Amino acid sequence: MRKSSFLFLMALLLFVSAGLNGQVTVTGKVIDKETREALIGAAVVVQGTSQGTVTNLNGSFKLSVKPEQQTLLFAYLGYVDFTKSINPGNLETLDLGVVELESSTVGLNEVLVLTSFARDKETPVALSTIQPATIDEKLGSLEFPQILKSTPSVYATRGSGGFGDSRIYLRGFDTNNIGVLINGVPVNDMENGQVYWSNWSGLSDVTKTMQVQRGLGASKLALSSVGGTINILTNSTDVSKGGSVYTGVGNDGYRKQTFSASTGLMDNNWAVSLMGGHTYGNGYINGTNFDSWTYFMNVSKIINDQHRISFTAFGAPQWHNQRGTASLIQAYRDDADGNRRNLSYGIRDGEVYGGGYGYNEYHKPQLSMNHYWNINSSTILSTALYASISQGGGRRVDGENGDWLNIDYDTGKPTSMTLQTPDGLLDFEEAARRNAESMTGSQAVVGMSINQHQWYGLLSTINKELGNINLTGGFDGRYYIGEHYKEVTDLLGGEYFLDDLNKNRPAGTPLKEGDKYAYHNDGVVAWGGLFSQAEYIGTNYSAFLTAAVSQKSYQRIDYFQYAPGDQKSDWVHFNPWSVKVGANYNLTEEHNFFVNGGYFTRAPYFSTIFLNYTNEVNDGAKYEQVLSFDLGYGFSLPNFRARINGYWTNWKDKGLVRSFVGETANIPGINALHTGIESEIFWKPLPELNIKGMFSWGDWTWEDDVNFSLFDDNNQLLGEYYAYIGGVHVGNSAQITSSLRVDYEAFPGFKVGADANYYGKNFAEFDPTNRTTEGVKEDSWQLPDFVTLDMNMKYDFHIGTLEASVYGNVNNLLNAEYIADARDGYDHNASTALVYYGFGTTWSTGLKIKF
């Protein structure tokens, strides 16, 4: 097999080289017309033939053509095709110089200014940019965070396995320590900083490009980006008229259909782009069927040479059944369904029905109106007014006998009360029967834990170019109201439900479906920030200095525990600030060095401010502090590029609160140190062959043991406590990752790719405040290292005059069995850890037709 493949390749090379005799070599460089950046992998083709090449890592190309009149076609995903007629005659070489391609998006340059998009060898930060072609070819049926899994220091998994339940860590930090921006607008939850990817389940369908800035990054906003920033740019108004339809299928009933259309820029300078999609399936894990829709609209108007407005609406309403609990490794082995094991669902009215923590539904639309004002050739004012009004939540089972339909979170096993059918599913019919017989209403009731919000913001940035110096300043204002309550959604055969936790409701009031119970409170967050940046960009040097200051204010409103007139807490104010500095030096065209560092303070999160879910203010809450440095080197040749950088991040006074026997204590001095190295290589040995490699190594540990005092409400000392964590590794993310990606265009229009990813040094998740046993200070259980292999293909062809593409993706091709997520057990070993296995082999294929 190897011999025949080698002979075929040699014959192909001889055939190609034989056809080049007596031809003219055409050279040139393809760049972005607005940003002046080189476009890597842009196609250069003799129109009407299959003869062509692609640009190298510097955007340059060489193409042998016949010595006659012909037309060259330049094409790159996300850009308008460009043609150029040539007649080389008797020349041996013909240099076309610089070929400029125009973005297919109206006003992309203004968008990049607003979003703080970084540029390689210019912005001194560690960054990785995910090109549109990568998303187009690699994502398949994977979830959005997983497109980043071959990025240094990123650990992305599907979490519990439900649709949209993926999680992502960057340099050992989860999303409440990663700044996530969509079109420059921050989307981390205003109360706890988290990003719930199920709320953005359709984001991949409308993403134009994305960039990961590791460490403090180049964003000018006052973000809590301890680990880094993920900057996502969605589609905008297309320059060209047209559209596409897509249909795809995959494993376990996966189906996907999308449609897009654009008017292009019309004669009246209006342009409209629309997209809609529907994705549904049964889910790889048992009982995790899902249904998701995506919609996107952009309407833009070029008013004149100075002003442009753009309105964007995007949303992804979805529901999905979930796996609510992890299990012991032995439990998976003993289960007939193996790694697809799920105890968190049953059958109700003939349909899969998730139990407690077994179902989620959400709709989080984002609306924005952007105004771009080119005041003059050197000054741009970009303003975004945005809003997000969400609704939805997750299913819970409550009541005196709520454990009839719950699985024990701490053991991953049924409780002593759990009702199960003979095949191990939750028995909703038996619970309904018992509720119907009850003389005091439903003893177990299904409810929704609602967490919905209204969020309004204004982001305005002005950029002024003064020769080699760019000055930027702006305002970031946000107002957020998060509403939290439980709502009865299914009485499960009973006539009513009793819950007396609302002191403003008469005791014994029978509750019906739609009534609130357990709790009802609002979290109000107001944010106002100013930011500024001075950036110098020279031929060989570039540097920036960024400073930001803000006021973050919290208020809590409780409708259940307090009487009317006394339901609002006092406002609590914090003034976090940040400063960042960085410099890049291009020693030669091949070598560059960069360094950056920064310090910022972060306001405590909402739950840290208000103790025990009351309006009582935690006076001991303090700012968290982060000090971080990066140092990097880059090497670049026309067909080879390498980057390596090291980082040091010290996170001090992590905000933790712990309850002891009904009392609460602040735990000060929880400090963590994250250090590591990251490297990437890009090699293009042939025009048709791309090779990318990545390696990252981290050492993330808690720094010191911590002691603290616990006092009661009367300021009486209850005891001294210790958390023994000094030197213990941080858990929940692989500290060693590496990948190798190979993409090859076997013949014009047909591409194949393979991605191998390795993960190691991953310690199980644990709560550092639980390490209170003196003399016991050891790492949590270390998960086994693992490797996965993914394959993809794409074939471009024509159906009549229409362009078409067929896609194919297989993930975990070798069906490797591995543990992706784990929670540490009492013995810190494999036997007591609760785990989620990663998915086995999955696949998807689809057809897209452009018109």
Strand partners, 126: 214
Q: What is the mean pLDDT of residues 682-704?
A: 94
CA distances from 364 to 184, 196, 559, 758 (A): 17, 10, 24, 34
Check residue 748 and report its DSSP letter.
T
* Model pLDDT, residue 20: 44
CA angle 345, 347, 352 (to 5 degrees): 65
Instruction: State the residue for tokens 């529907």.
Output: 278
Q: Is the pLDDT of residue 264 over 60?
A: yes
Dihedral over Cα of 494, 500, 506, 507: its sign:
positive
Task: Name the most confidently modeled range: 78-82, 199-203, 287-291, 310-314.
Answer: 287-291
> Rounded distance, CA 179 to CA 401, Å?
41
Distance of CA 825 to the CA centre of its chain: 29
Helix, strand, or coil here: 461? strand
Q: Which of 234, 254, 270 is the last residue of a domain?
A: 234
Residue 752, token pair as written in the block: 């194949």
User: Are both 420 and 298 inside the same structural domain?
Assistant: yes
Selected residue with higher pLDDT from 770 and 126? 126
User: Are both 434 and 561 inside the same structural domain?
Assistant: yes
Name every residue whose Cβ is closer than 8 Å to that of residue 241 and which is 6 or more positions away in sequence: 262, 263, 264
> pLDDT band at residue 663, thresholds of 50, 70 and 90?
low
Q: Is the pLDDT of residue 614 over 70?
A: yes
Q: What is the mean pLDDT of residues 307-317?
A: 93
Helix, strand, or coil here: 7? helix
* Model pLDDT, residue 5: 46
> Rounded distance, CA 277 to CA 455, Å?
25
- Structural domain includes residue 203: yes
* Model pLDDT, residue 797: 95
* Model pLDDT, residue 850: 94
φ/ψ (deg, to 5) at 714: -95, 15
> Rounded distance, CA 399 to CA 628, Å?
48
Q: Which of 249-258, 418-427, 526-535, 718-727 has the lowest mean pLDDT?
A: 718-727
Q: Smallest Cα–Cα separation from 128: which of 737, 758, 681, 691? A: 681
Name every residue whose Cβ is closer than 8 Å to that of residue 444 and which is 6 or more positions away in sequence: 397, 398, 399, 400, 401, 402, 403, 404, 405, 431, 434, 435, 492
Let me know: does 845 contact 806? Beta carbons within 8 Å.
yes
- Structural domain includes residue 17: no
Give the percent of the chain with pLDDT over 90.
Answer: 70
CA angle 667, 672, 677 (to 5 degrees): 170
Let me know: does 169 contact 226? Beta carbons within 8 Å.
no
Q: Is the pLDDT of residue 1 over 60?
A: no
> Rounded distance, CA 543 to CA 424, Å?
62
Check residue 769 and report its DSSP letter.
G
| C-beta atoms surrounding 495 within 10 Å | 14
Q: Smallest Cα–Cα separation from 464: which of 473, 477, 455, 453? A: 473
User: Are both 682 and 726 inside the same structural domain?
Assistant: yes
Dump pLDDT digits (tens) for 356-366.
999 999 999 99
* Model pLDDT, residue 3: 46
> Rounded distance, CA 145 to CA 139, Å?
10
Q: What is the mean pLDDT of residues 590-613?
A: 91
* Model pLDDT, residue 653: 83
Residue 355, token pair as written in the block: 């139990």
Give the percent of the chain with pLDDT over 70.
Answer: 92
* Model pLDDT, residue 136: 86
| C-beta atoms surrounding 163 within 10 Å | 28
* Model pLDDT, residue 113: 63
Mean pLDDT, the chain, rounded, equals 90
> Rounded distance, CA 794 to CA 811, Å?
15
Q: Which of 55, 77, 101 is the last residue of a domain?
A: 101
Let me know: does 450 contact 485? Beta carbons within 8 Å.
yes
Q: Whole-prediction pTM value?
A: 0.88
Q: Is the pLDDT of residue 438 over 90?
A: yes
The secondary structure of 200-254 as a DSSP string is GTTGGGGEEEEEEEETT-S--S----SSEEEEEEE---BSS-EEEEEEEEEGGG-
Which strands sit side by side in the sheet containing 24-32, from one edge to the other?
Answer: 60-65, 24-32, 93-101
Check residue 109 and report its DSSP letter.
H
> Rounded distance, CA 45 to CA 48, Å?
8
Instruction: Check which CATH number belongs to the domain holding 27 and give it.
Output: 2.60.40.10
Residue 373, token pair as written in the block: 């004002």
One-letter amino acid identity for 562?
Answer: Y
User: Are both 182 and 72 inside the same structural domain?
Assistant: no
Q: What is the mean pLDDT of residues 566-584?
A: 96
- Torsion angle, CA of 196/200/201/203, rounded to 10 degrees? -140
- Structural domain includes residue 5: no
User: Are both 65 and 161 inside the same structural domain?
Assistant: no
* Model pLDDT, residue 712: 58
The greatest distance separating any two alpha carbons of the chain, rounded to the nearest whole angstrom, comes to 99
| C-beta atoms surrounding 446 within 10 Å | 27
Q: Is the pLDDT of residue 544 over 60?
A: yes
Q: Which of 46, 81, 101 is the last residue of a domain?
A: 101
Q: Please state whether 172 falls in left (phi above 0), alpha (psi between -120 and 50) or beta.
A: left
Instruction: Check which CATH number belongs to the domain holding 479 and give it.
Output: 2.40.170.20
> Rounded distance, CA 128 to CA 637, Å?
18
Name the domain count of the chain: 3
- Structural domain includes residue 723: yes
> Rounded distance, CA 109 to CA 179, Å?
22
Q: Is the pLDDT of residue 40 over 60?
A: yes
Q: Please state whether 153 falls in left (phi above 0), alpha (psi between -120 and 50) or beta.
A: left
> Rounded distance, CA 709 to CA 720, Å?
5
Residue 513, token pair as written in the block: 């479906």
> Rounded distance, CA 29 to CA 98, Å?
5
User: Are both 695 and 721 inside the same structural domain?
Assistant: yes
Task: Name the most confidently modeled range: 139-148, 178-187, 383-392.
Answer: 383-392
Helix, strand counts (H, E) of the chain:
6, 52
User: Are both 70 and 131 inside the same structural domain?
Assistant: no
Q: Smallest Cα–Cα separation from 34: which of 70, 78, 4? A: 78
Q: Which of 79-83, 462-466, 698-702, 761-765 has the lowest mean pLDDT?
A: 79-83
Q: Is the pLDDT of residue 763 over 70?
A: yes
User: Are both 119 and 207 inside the same structural domain?
Assistant: yes
Which strands sit side by side in the sheet containing 43-46, from one edge to the other?
Answer: 52-54, 43-46, 70-75, 82-86
Q: Is the pLDDT of residue 105 over 80?
A: no
Instruction: State the number of CA atoms in the 13 A half-sphere of 725 facing the CB.
Output: 26
User: Are both 207 and 301 inside the same structural domain?
Assistant: no
* Model pLDDT, residue 144: 82
* Model pLDDT, residue 33: 83
Instruction: Check which CATH number belongs to the domain holding 135 and give it.
Output: 2.170.130.10
> pLDDT band at residue 799, thresholds of 50, 70 and 90?
very high
CA distances from 152 to 147, 148, 170, 179, 694 (A): 12, 9, 8, 17, 6
- Structural domain includes residue 18: no
> pLDDT band at residue 472, thresholds of 50, 70 and 90?
very high
Task: Extract the runs of DSSP E, i.e. beta strands, from 512-589.
Answer: 516-537, 541-558, 572-574, 577-586
Selected residue with higher pLDDT from 337 and 33? 337
- Structural domain includes residue 412: yes
- Structural domain includes residue 7: no
Q: Smallest Cα–Cα separation from 647: which of 71, 213, 141, 264? A: 213
* Model pLDDT, residue 339: 96
Q: What is the mean pLDDT of residues 244-258?
A: 97
Strand partners, 278: 257, 293
User: Are both 295 and 363 inside the same structural domain?
Assistant: yes
Q: Is the pLDDT of residue 677 over 70?
A: yes
Q: What is the mean pLDDT of residues 516-542?
A: 95
- Structural domain includes residue 13: no
> pLDDT band at residue 50, thresholds of 50, 70 and 90?
confident
Domain that includes residue 77, residue range: 23-101
User: Are both 438 and 544 inside the same structural domain?
Assistant: yes
> pLDDT band at residue 13, thresholds of 50, 70 and 90?
very low
* Model pLDDT, residue 6: 44
- Torsion angle, CA of 158/161/165/168, rounded to 10 degrees? -20
> Rounded distance, CA 217 to CA 225, Å?
8
Dump pLDDT digits (tens) for 280-295.
999 999 999 999 999 9
Q: Is the pLDDT of residue 78 over 90?
A: no
User: Are both 264 and 385 inside the same structural domain?
Assistant: yes
